[in-house]
């Protein structure tokens, strides 16, 4: 069988750059191990699930090897779109995209996992596999050695009776987990915490950034929103106005705005399925679910041009394990696209980043509203 053409995979519509590629050695090791295990243990192709496939580098080689029927979960909608594009480019068919739930894992005997960055996300995934997969399931988890920790083994050991790290190869390592332990009555996620200083309850699934905490950048922007509540109300509260929490995470900004401006029409959107599930739970916990629409989307691509009066933005500065401003710049450009003339984007960002100049170029006149030793808050008015 010919080698799979990994080099033809693209990240698009995600950020593309010379130092960012759509696969790594971990993907190759996982695929090799999966093909060998499927043969050795007689695992039917419909009993294989893939979790954390960035852009198709796990599912598509399996499909190309004749293991069609693979079930796939990707947290990021940008990854889902990239997988679909890559599959079309390669003429690959035979995978089934699903959420992280029982339908993904029911009767699965082999699960491939690109290890996530966070332990909470790994805990939710491990619980799901142990809870819903077959009793003889084998979990093959892999990562780059430089990003792996003993704590990951410890998390897996809470859900599997046997956890065996493999010898490192090509700067990657696989972990084999078998013998799932009985699942507790209720899943461990979402978790929730009250934040009385802001009058908020935050809920979070394992893959949501900062969990049920309020990260320090969001805190700075929430403080500014509280101090300038009349200006926010004038923008978001007038008849027909729309406000967007772009890259909403667990929904702290959207929920806070909805509580402060009851007449506001608010949209909270994120490309992460874990974030969207978290934000929906946050809106329900704060009694604003009927006034905030939460959507899974990539950089607000489904929001019409020139239709928004206010954007709240706390852009990321990481792409996976890489520090890269591209993700933040995509959201800045998205905010500029969706704002109507005279609309505003309120942004918080790490002060060392050059986002103020990017905002001025993409949106319009940009002024500083607040600055701390680490973060800057700006207001930009659409020209």
DSSP for 81-142, please give it: HHHHHHHHHHT---EEE--SSHHHHTT-SEEEEE--S-HHHHHHHHHHHHHHS-TT-EEEEE
Confidence at residue 317, expressed as pLDDT on a 0 to 100 scale: 66
* Cα 111 → chain centroid: 20
Residue 299 has pLDDT above 80, yes or no: yes
Nearest in space to 152 (alpha carbons), one of 183, 119, 185: 119
Neighbours of 242 (CB within 10 A): 20
Q: What share of the chain has pLDDT > 90, as a percent?
A: 91
Residue 85 has pLDDT above 60, yes or no: yes
> Distance (Å, rounded) from C-alpha 239 to C-alpha 230?
15
Domains of the chain, with CATH numbers?
Answer: 6-180 (3.40.50.150), 191-381 (3.40.50.150)
311: left (phi over 0), alpha (psi -120 to 50) or beta: beta
**Whether the Cβ atoms of residue 235 and residue 344 lie closer than 8 Å to each other:** yes
Residue 325 has pLDDT above 90, yes or no: no
Residue 95 has pLDDT above 80, yes or no: yes
For residues 248-261, give the mean pLDDT.
98
Least confident range of 128-137, 185-194, 246-255, 318-327: 318-327
Residue 321 has pLDDT above 50, yes or no: no
Residue 193 has pLDDT above 70, yes or no: yes
Residue 48 has pLDDT above 90, yes or no: yes
Confidence at residue 328, expressed as pLDDT on a 0 to 100 scale: 86
The string of pLDDT tens digits covering residues 213-238 is: 999 999 999 999 999 999 999 999 99
Nearest in space to 114 (alpha carbons), one of 161, 76, 81: 76
Residue 324 has pLDDT above 70, yes or no: no
pLDDT band at 68 (very low <50, low <70, confident <90, very high): confident
> Distance (Å, rounded) from C-alpha 237 to C-alpha 330?
27
For residues 297-314, give the mean pLDDT.
97
Query: Regarding beta strands 292-296 and 266-270, do their DSSP bridges make them parallel or antiparallel, or are they unpaired?
Result: parallel
- Between 239 and 45, the higher pLDDT residue: 239
C-alpha torsion sign, points 242, 243, 248, 250? negative
> Distance (Å, rounded) from C-alpha 311 to C-alpha 242?
9
> Distance (Å, rounded) from C-alpha 206 to C-alpha 334?
27
Confidence at residue 323, expressed as pLDDT on a 0 to 100 scale: 46
For residues 325-340, give the mean pLDDT.
90
> Distance (Å, rounded) from C-alpha 197 to C-alpha 214?
11
3-state DSSP call for residue 183? coil
Strand partners, 339: 308
Residue 203 vs residues 74, 146, 224, 380: alpha-carbon distances, Å: 21, 31, 22, 30
**Whether the Cβ atoms of residue 376 and residue 364 lie closer than 8 Å to each other:** no
């Amino acid at each position: 069988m010919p080698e799979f053409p990994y080099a033809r995979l693209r990240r698009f519509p995600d950020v593309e750059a010379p130092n960012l590629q759509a696969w790594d050695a971990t993907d190759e090791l996982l695929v090799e191990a999966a093909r060998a295990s499927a043969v050795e243990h007689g695992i039917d192709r419909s009993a294989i699930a893939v979790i954390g496939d960035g852009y198709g580098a796990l599912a598509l080689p399996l499909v190309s090897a004749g293991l069609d029927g693979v079930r796939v979960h990707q947290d990021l909608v940008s990854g889902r779109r990239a997988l679909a594009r890559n599959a079309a480019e390669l003429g690959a068919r035979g995978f089934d995209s699903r959420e992280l739930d029982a339908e993904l894992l029911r009767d699965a005997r082999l699960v491939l996992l690109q290890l996530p960055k966070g332990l909470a996300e790994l805990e939710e995934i491990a619980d799901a596999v142990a809870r819903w997969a077959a009793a003889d399931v084998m979990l093959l988890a892999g990562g780059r050695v430089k990003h792996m920790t003993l704590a990951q083994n410890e998390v897996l050991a809470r859900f599997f009776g046997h956890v065996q790290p493999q010898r490192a190869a090509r700067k990657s390592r696989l972990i084999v987990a078998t013998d799932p332990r009985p699942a507790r009555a209720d899943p461990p996620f979402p978790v929730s915490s009250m934040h009385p200083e802001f009058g908020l309850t935050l809920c979070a699934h394992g893959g949501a950034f900062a969990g049920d905490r309020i990260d320090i950048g969001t805190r700075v922007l929430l403080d500014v929103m509280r101090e300038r509540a009349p200006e926010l109300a004038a923008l978001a509260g007038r008849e027909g106005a729309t406000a967007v929490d772009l890259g909403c995470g667990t929904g702290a900004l959207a929920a806070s705005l909805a509580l402060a401006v009851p007449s506001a029409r608010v949209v909270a959107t994120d490309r992460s399925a874990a974030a969207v599930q978290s934000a929906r739970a946050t809106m329900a916990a704060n009694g604003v679910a009927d006034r905030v629409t939460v959507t899974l989307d990539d950089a607000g691509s489904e929001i019409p041009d020139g239709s928004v009066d206010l954007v709240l933005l706390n852009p990321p500065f990481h792409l996976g394990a890489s520090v890269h401003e591209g993700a933040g710049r995509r959201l800045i450009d998205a905010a500029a696209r969706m704002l109507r003339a005279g609309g505003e984007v309120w942004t918080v960002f790490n002060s060392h980043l050059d986002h103020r100049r990017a905002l001025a170029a993409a949106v319009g006149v940009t002024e500083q509203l607040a600055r701390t030793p680490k973060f800057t808050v700006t207001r930009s008015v659409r020209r």
